[in-house]
Amino acid sequence: MAMLVKKPVKYFMVNAFSESAFKGNPAVVCFLDVKNERDDSWLQSLAAEFNIPLTCFVISITASNPLDPPHFLLRWFTPILEVDLCAHATLASAHTLFSNGLVGSDEVEFVTHSGILTAKRVSKTLKFYDYEEKESFLIELDFPVIPTCEYNSNDISMFSKALNGATVVNFQGTKNAKIISQAFNGAAKETSTDKIIVVLPSWESVTELQPRMDDISKCPGKLIIVTAAAPKGSVYDFCSRVFALKLGVDEDSVCGSAHCALAHYWSLKMNKCDFVAYAASHRSGRLKVHYDQEKQRVLLTGKAVTVMRGSILV
């Protein structure tokens, strides 16, 4: 009897939240189908093989209503584990679908462990992007807000050491949310939003920060978000850097999901709901952020660039 050989898996490597290659946050987007699924061990092994911040897997599913936008199951893996929420890989997935003509609409919905997430192709004429590429477009993601709260910690000295003695203006934690997800296994899943926001006094204190990675790994929280307001006259409202050693990523180049918490924090501080944010990593990136207080959602708008495509043969 002949051995059943699974067909190669197509993949695209995309730089998200950037208008140019080799900037922003890289993600690998892999397309599976119902007849070509892989087990979780294979998914995690492939993410480790790529060894970039995020490898995600997309499977087309049939929407219950034919008039609804195209539906896809979406899962996200760092090199060491699966995560519940990732914006830059969602942006990369939507960009791949739109730019390769894989969908016939300007909107797609992703079924994830954090519920239904929507991505829309929108006009490129936004002030925070200075380019006029003929076939370029932006993508708007609809994500849940991650509320922030006062972080009462006895570990301030630990954070100070990890941030190389940086002056800390404020600490904020994030509240946990329980989201019922039917993605893949149909089981209820409690998602963790274990993020800690550390506010520094100036833009330069964030961009020039030289953290002690070994000490950051000892701090509470899965994500350490360091942020500061932009100086007067800047085109940006705030900047940030994100360290996620417990997720297998030393510094996340542009962490979109962190902005679901930053939107809440800076909205309270600046008394506004619309922001232009700068990711101050060495790759850098930028995104437009809108906090919808009524719906408790955050809209993240950015651009992406495909830098590689290929097939996985194993």
- CB contact at 8 A, 245 and 252: no
pLDDT for the residue numbered 227? 98
Contact assessment for residue 243 and residue 226, using Cβ atoms and an 8 Å cutoff = yes
**What residues contact residue 56 under an 8 Å CB cut-off, 6+ apart?**
27, 28, 29, 30, 74, 75, 76, 77, 86, 89, 90, 92, 93
Q: Which residue has the higher pLDDT, 62 or 10?
A: 10
Q: How far lies 185's CA from each of 172, 180, 182, 188, in Å?
A: 33, 11, 6, 9
Q: How far apart are CA 267 and CA 237, in angstroms?
A: 11
pLDDT surpasses 70 at 191: no
Q: What is the mean pLDDT of residues 7-18?
A: 96
CB 223 within 8 A of CB 243: yes
Measured in whole angstroms, the distance separating CA 188 from the mean position of its chain's CA atoms is 22
Cα end-to-end span (Å), the chain: 21
For residue 194, the model assigns a pLDDT of 83
Tell whether the model's pLDDT for residue 152 goes beyond 80.
no
The model's pLDDT over 35-57, given as tens digits with 9 standing for 90+, comes to 777 899 999 999 999 999 999 99
**% of the chain surpassing 90 pLDDT:** 78
Question: Which of 263, 217, 278, 208 lies closest to 243, judged by CA?
Answer: 217
Alpha carbons 86 and 303: distance in angstroms, whole number: 15
Q: Answer left, alpha or beta for residue 142, where phi above 0 means left and psi between -120 and 50 means alpha.
A: beta
Predicted confidence (pLDDT) at residue 73 exceeds the cutoff of 70:
yes
Q: What is the DSSP letter of 36?
A: G
Alpha-carbon gap, residue 253 to 304, rounded angstroms: 14
Percentage of the chain exceeding pLDDT 70: 88
More confident position, 5 or 174: 174
Mean predicted confidence (pLDDT) in 262-280: 98
Q: What local confidence, expressed as pLDDT, does residue 182 receive?
A: 46
DSSP letter assigned to residue 21: T
Cross-strand pairs, 263: none
pLDDT computed for residue 177 by the predictor: 53
Mean of per-residue pLDDT scores for the chain: 89
Of 260, 265, 291, nearest in space to 115 by CA: 260
Q: Once rounded to an integer, what is the mean pLDDT over residues 233-260? A: 97
User: Is 253 a residue whose pLDDT tops 90?
Assistant: yes
Question: For position 212, what pLDDT does the model report?
Answer: 97
**Phi/psi at 152 (5° precision):** -90, 100
29/46 Cα distance (integer angstroms): 11
Least confident interval from 96-100, 135-139, 146-150, 273-277: 135-139
pLDDT in tens, 198-241: 999 999 999 999 999 999 999 999 999 999 999 999 999 999 99
Is residue 185 pLDDT above 80, yes or no?
Answer: no
The mean pLDDT of 282-295, rounded to a whole number, is: 97
Closest among 203, 291, 271 to 240, alpha carbons compared: 203
Q: What's residue 126's pLDDT?
A: 52
pLDDT at res. 7: 83
Burial class (CB in 10 A: 0-12, 13-18, 19+), 72: buried
Q: Nearest Cα to 296, choosing from 143, 152, 181, 157?
A: 143
Q: What is the mean pLDDT of residues 1-5?
A: 46
Q: Would you state the pLDDT for residue 36?
A: 75
